[in-house]
Amino acid sequence: MSEVLYGRYEEAYKAIHSALSGLMAPPPGKKVTRLVFAWNADSTVQSLKAYMGEELLFTLTFSWNVDGTLREVARCARAQQK
């Protein structure tokens, strides 16, 4: 993701959306049919698991800063989760 200048909110939102869309893309030939969320004690999202039927396709894990802002979203492929 390229740098977005401070105050250019529309560009920032587009860059974030584009990056998350790439992270959420299912593997070739697969389709996400179900999402399962896990939550932290402070009500922030801990992880999101994407399934096609009962098959786990990938997991997104979320890291948060102390001030409650999102720090990182990481994707773990199904093969790496075993």
Structure confidence by residue, pLDDT tens digits, 45-76: 999 999 999 999 999 999 999 988 888 999 99
- For residue 1, being part of any structural domain is answered with no
The rounded distance, in Å, linking the Cα atoms of 60 and 77 is 9
- For residue 12, being part of any structural domain is answered with no
- For residue 3, being part of any structural domain is answered with no
- For residue 74, being part of any structural domain is answered with yes
Which tens digits make up the pLDDT trace of 12-25? Answer: 778 777 877 888 89
Q: How many domains does the chain have?
A: 1
Q: What integer pLDDT is reported at residue 64 of this predicted model?
A: 92
- For residue 60, being part of any structural domain is answered with yes
The reported pTM is 0.74
**What range does the domain containing 54 cover?**
27-81
- For residue 4, being part of any structural domain is answered with no
- For residue 73, being part of any structural domain is answered with yes
Q: What integer pLDDT is reported at residue 14 of this predicted model?
A: 82
Name the residue with higher pLDDT: 35 or 10: 35
3-state secondary structure of 77: strand
- For residue 36, being part of any structural domain is answered with yes
The size of the chain, in residues, is: 82
